[in-house]
Amino acid sequence: GSGKSTLLNILGALLVPDEGEIYLNGRLEEQYSKEPHATEIRNKHIGFIFQDFSLLNDLSVRENVSLPLVLKGGRDRKVKDTVESIVRRVGIEDKLDSVVTQLSGGQQQRIAIARAVVTHPDIVLADEPTGNLDSKSSREIMEILRKLHTEGRTVILITHDDKIAQSAKRIIRIMDGKIESDSGMADKNSMEEENGEE
């Protein structure tokens, strides 16, 4: 109830903020959350990973992961190759033709990650991605997210689990809709102090 998911939905251009400004790649986006600009931003720049996976239960792994590419008008052969490559990276290549409801929670979250990154977005937004998983699956999902970050993607992860938060490069704590603390600001302030700046 602190506003974490609301913030993530604003960042993901799913909700329009009441106030404030959003910058993307250093540029002010005045129409960020307004259609049709919001759809374009989501398609080009953002991948979503949800706690409840948000997969289409009647479809196979292949069909779920390929959906963002198909919606962008991808060609059959390229879509097939891209999907197989991404699914291999998250370790479920042997499940490509399985219906998602036949798979475990950890496997479904891997599918959700594959679908989120199949378009090679700059930003991956993850809302409690380990919330419904056992500890082993949670560790595996966090390792996949770490790899995505080391490849140059910005990963913004919402969690109430302090252990998971500690693996982040920057931690912003939110309470009652307001920022309570920001480890990134602490780093910035200490750097300014070292340089004699205020």
For residue 182, what are its two tokens?
A: 């920001």
Q: pTM for the whole thing?
A: 0.84
pLDDT tens digit at each of 198 positions of the chain: 788 888 899 999 999 988 999 999 899 998 999 999 998 899 889 999 988 889 999 999 999 999 999 888 878 888 999 999 999 999 999 999 999 999 999 999 999 999 999 999 999 999 999 888 888 988 999 999 999 999 999 999 999 888 889 889 999 999 888 889 999 865 544 434 444 544
Distance CA 181, CA 189 (A): 13
Listed in sequence order, the residues at least 6 apart from 12 whose beta carbon sits closer than 8 Å to its beta carbon are: 42, 46, 48, 125
Tell me 126's DSSP state.
E
